[in-house]
C-alpha cells in the first residue's frame, strides 16, 4: 500500500464507520419525537415506552458518534494538510456551524434524557424536537463542505484574493448544496427506518409479538417508506445536476465510454476499460438521455471526452451506482408491500412470518444504499479532491509513517464498534 492509498483507505474507513452514526443521529431523534408526540396525542403508554427506549439508544449512539466524528475531524488535518491550507478559509464556517448544532444537540439531549419528570409534558417533547432539528442540521451543514468540493464556487477568488472571499456565500450559495443536503437526509431516514424495523421484525420472528414491537415496527416503517418514496425523486434531480456539472463522474456512473445521442440507460453490466465494451448489461435506448437532459435524443458526454488520467475508477463507481439504485428500488418495493399489508390485513404484521422475514432481509438495504451513494460521490470525483482545482495526490500529507496511523484509527473504530454492539445488546425496552 503506497502513501496515497494508505491515506485514502484510512479516510474511507473512517467515513464508512462514521456514516452509520451520522444517519442514526438524523433518524433516531425523529423516531423518538414522533413516538412521544403520539403518546401526548393518544395517551397510549406503549408510545411512551418506545420514546424512552429510543431516547436511551439515541444517547448511546450520540456518545459513540461524537468520538468517531472527533477522530474524523483530526484526520482531515493530519492526512490532507495541503487541502486544508488551501480550502480551510472557505469550508471552515460549515464546520463551525456544524459544531454549534452539535453542542445544541448535546444540550437538548441532556435535557430530554433527564427531564422526564422535571419538565412539563409539552416542554419535554419540545426539547426532543430541538434534538431532532439540531441533529439533522449537523448533517445538512457539514454537507455544504462536500458540495463545495464537488462544485467549488468562488474558487478563482479564493486563489487570487483569499482575504476578500465570502465563505458563507461560497458554501450556502452553492447550487449543489440544497439538493445534496435533502437527498442525503432522506437517505439517512430510509437507512434508519428500515434498520430499526428489521430489529423489531427479528424480535417477532423469535416470538416476541407484543404491542410495543408492533408499534415500533409501524413507526419505523412509516419513516422508512416515506423516505424510500422520496429518494428516487431527489436522486433523479441529483443525476441531472451531475450530468450538467460533473459529466465525467456521470459517464463513470453509467459506464458510458462513447459520447452519443439517444444514449441508453444501462442496467447492470461489466465495463471493460480496454475495449470500452459492456458485458452482461441491459440497455434501454434513449433513457439515459432523457434522465440526464429530459430529452430522449439529447447528447450525453462519454468518457472519451476526458483524458484517461482524469477518469475515476469506472468499475467501482459503476457498480456502486448500480447497488445504490437497486437497493433503493428494493426498499421502495418492500415499503409499499408493507403499506399494502398494513392497509388490507393489519393483523398479519404480528402473525406473518413471510412479512417479518422480508423486513428483516430488507433491514440493511438503506445503509447499503447510503454507503454506495457516498462511494459514487467521492470516488466518482477522483482524481480531484476539489473538482478540477486540486488533485488528491497533491493534497495528501508528505509525512511518512501513515501505516501506523491507519492501524491506530482502524483499531479505534473497531473498539468503538465492539463497545456499541455490547451496549446495544444490553438495551431493553423501558417498562
Q: Helices 45-79 and 121-150, interaxial angle, to 10°?
A: 30
Q: Is 202 left (phi over 0), alpha (psi -120 to 50) or beta?
A: alpha
Q: Tell me the mean pLDDT per 10 residues along the chain, length 431.
A: 81 85 89 95 93 90 79 82 87 87 91 91 94 91 89 87 85 88 93 94 89 92 95 90 89 92 89 87 89 88 91 93 94 95 88 92 94 92 90 87 79 82 70 43
CB 407 within 8 Å of CB 6? no
Domain positions in the chain:
233-399
What pLDDT was estimated at residue 20? 86
What pLDDT was estimated at residue 1? 65
What pLDDT was estimated at residue 431? 43
Amino acid at each position: 500500500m503506497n502513501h496515497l492509498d494508505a491515506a485514502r483507505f484510512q479516510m474511507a474507513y473512517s467515513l464508512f464507520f462514521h456514516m452509520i452514526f451520522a444517519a442514526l443521529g438524523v433518524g433516531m431523534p425523529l423516531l423518538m419525537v414522533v413516538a412521544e408526540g403520539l403518546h401526548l396525542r393518544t395517551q397510549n403508554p406503549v408510545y411512551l415506552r418506545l420514546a424512552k427506549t429510543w431516547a436511551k439508544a439515541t444517547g448511546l449512539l450520540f456518545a459513540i458518534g461524537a468520538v468517531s466524528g472527533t477522530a474524523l475531524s483530526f484526520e482531515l488535518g493530519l492526512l490532507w494538510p495541503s487541502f486544508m491550507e488551501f480550502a480551510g478559509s472557505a469550508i471552515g464556517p460549515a464546520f463551525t456551524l456544524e459544531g454549534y448544532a452539535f453542542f445544541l444537540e448535546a444540550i437538548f439531549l441532556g435535557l430530554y434524557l433527564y427531564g422526564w419528570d422535571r419538565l412539563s409534558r409539552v416542554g419535554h417533547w419540545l426539547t426532543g424536537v430541538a434534538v431532532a432539528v439540531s441533529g439533522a442540521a449537523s448533517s445538512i451543514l457539514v454537507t455544504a463542505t462536500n458540495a463545495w468540493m464537488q462544485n467549488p464556487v468562488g474558487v478563482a477568488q479564493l486563489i487570487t484574493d483569499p482575504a476578500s472571499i465570502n465563505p458563507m456565500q461560497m458554501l450556502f450559495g452553492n447550487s449543489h448544496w440544497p439538493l445534496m443536503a435533502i437527498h442525503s437526509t432522506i437517505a439517512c431516514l430510509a437507512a434508519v427506518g428500515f434498520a430499526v424495523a428489521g430489529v423489531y421484525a427479528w424480535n417477532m420472528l423469535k416470538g416476541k409479538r407484543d404491542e410495543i414491537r408492533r408499534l415500533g415496527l409501524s413507526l419505523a416503517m412509516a419513516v422508512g417508506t416515506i423516505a424510500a418514496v422520496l429518494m428516487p425523486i431527489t436522486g433523479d434531480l441529483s443525476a441531472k445536476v451531475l450530468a450538467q456539472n460533473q459529466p465525467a463522474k456521470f459517464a463513470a456512473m453509467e459506464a458510458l465510454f462513447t459520447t452519443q445521442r439517444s444514449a441508453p440507460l444501462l442496467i447492470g453490466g461489466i465495463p471493460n476499460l480496454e475495449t470500452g465494451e459492456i458485458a452482461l448489461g441491459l440497455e434501454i435506448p434513449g433513457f439515459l438521455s432523457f434522465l440526464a437532459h429530459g430529452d430522449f435524443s439529447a447528447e450525453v458526454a462519454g468518457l472519451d471526452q476526458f483524458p484517461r488520467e482524469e477518469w475515476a475508477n469506472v468499475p467501482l463507481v459503476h457498480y456502486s451506482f448500480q447497488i445504490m439504485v437497486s437497493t433503493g428500488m428494493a426498499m421502495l418495493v418492500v415499503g409499499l408491500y408493507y403499506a399494502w399489508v398494513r392497509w388490507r390485513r393489519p393483523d398479519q404484521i404480528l402473525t406473518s412470518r413471510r412479512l417479518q422475514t422480508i423486513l428483516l432481509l430488507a433491514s440493511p438495504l438503506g445503509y447499503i444504499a447510503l454507503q454506495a451513494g457516498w462511494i459514487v460521490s467521492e470516488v466518482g470525483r477522483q482524481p480531484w479532491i476539489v473538482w478540477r482545482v486540486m488533485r488528491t495526490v497533491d493534497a495528501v500529507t508528505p509525512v511518512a509513517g501513515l501505516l501506523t496511523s491507519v492501524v491506530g484509527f482502524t483499531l479505534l473504530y473497531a473498539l468503538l464498534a465492539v463497545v456499541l454492539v455490547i451496549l446495544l445488546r444490553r438495551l431493553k425496552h423501558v417498562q
